[in-house]
Amino acid sequence: MSHTPKTRLKRAHNRGAYDRPTIDAILDAGMICHVGFVYDGYPVVTPTIYWREGDHVYWHGSSASRMLRAAEGADVCLTVTHLDGLVLARSAFHHSANYRSVMLFGKATKVEDDAIHTAHLKTFVDGIYPGRWDTLRPMNAQELKATTTLSMPINEVSAKIRATGPVDDEADMDVAVWAGVVPIGQRAGVAEPDATCQAAGLAVPDVAARLGFGG
């Protein structure tokens, strides 16, 4: 793990973290990242699903995707953010938010080998839906070709975390306004089978494992 001018937090040092267990936990708690790259001289930020395997983060999509084509081989900033709470303070100025975020810099590389590519996609699918890959027919050659998967090493990276109540000015502490935290989290709702599936009465898969959702 290298500290660079890009990853070193300039302010709010107490919110910074650089250790892999912290970074991996934040990455593993998410599904959507925002990938930034420079396209035709302009910054572009696109949302996409990602997953982590060991020391790399992966994301994928259609091989025709402009984002994937532009990001391949390019400098990328991949950011994952969890909003954990609203922080209500006794002055407007000290209102804040609790969050966990990871910012990862690097160059994106395309996964080329078909067998390795397939193995990554299996890890991705089973990571969200444990055991699901083997219940599905194998991906065919056309589907694999139509899918591009990029990877980036977890090397130039930092995390930023705020996880505490309001920090008010001493002079404001006797103001009679509610102060504290409203927690925010992501939740899965009740699974909705499509018409064909409903007719067949199949069991709902367990999607909770990776996502750590409450019910």
As measured in angstroms, the least distance from the Cβ of 92 to a copy of itself is: 5
Segment 80-109, which members bind a copy of itself (CB under 8 A)? 81, 83, 86, 88, 90-93, 95, 97, 99, 101, 103, 105
> What is the rounded distance in angstroms from the CA atom of residue 39 to the CA atom of residue 73?
12
Instruction: Provide the residue count of the chain.
Output: 215
Q: Which stretch binds a copy of itself (CB under 8 A): 17-25, 50-58, 109-117, 175-183?
A: 175-183
> What is the rounded distance in angstroms from the CA atom of residue 103 to the CA atom of residue 159?
6
Segment 117-136, which members bind a copy of itself (CB under 8 A)? 121-122, 125, 128-129, 132-133, 135-136
**153 touching a copy of itself, by CB under 8 A:** no
CA distance readout (Å), 190 to 155, 169, 209: 38, 44, 16
Contact 59, 35 (CB under 8 A): yes
As measured in angstroms, the least distance from the Cβ of 18 to a copy of itself is: 17
> What is the rounded distance in angstroms from the CA atom of residue 57 to the CA atom of residue 156?
12
**212 touching a copy of itself, by CB under 8 A:** no
As measured in angstroms, the least distance from the Cβ of 23 to a copy of itself is: 15
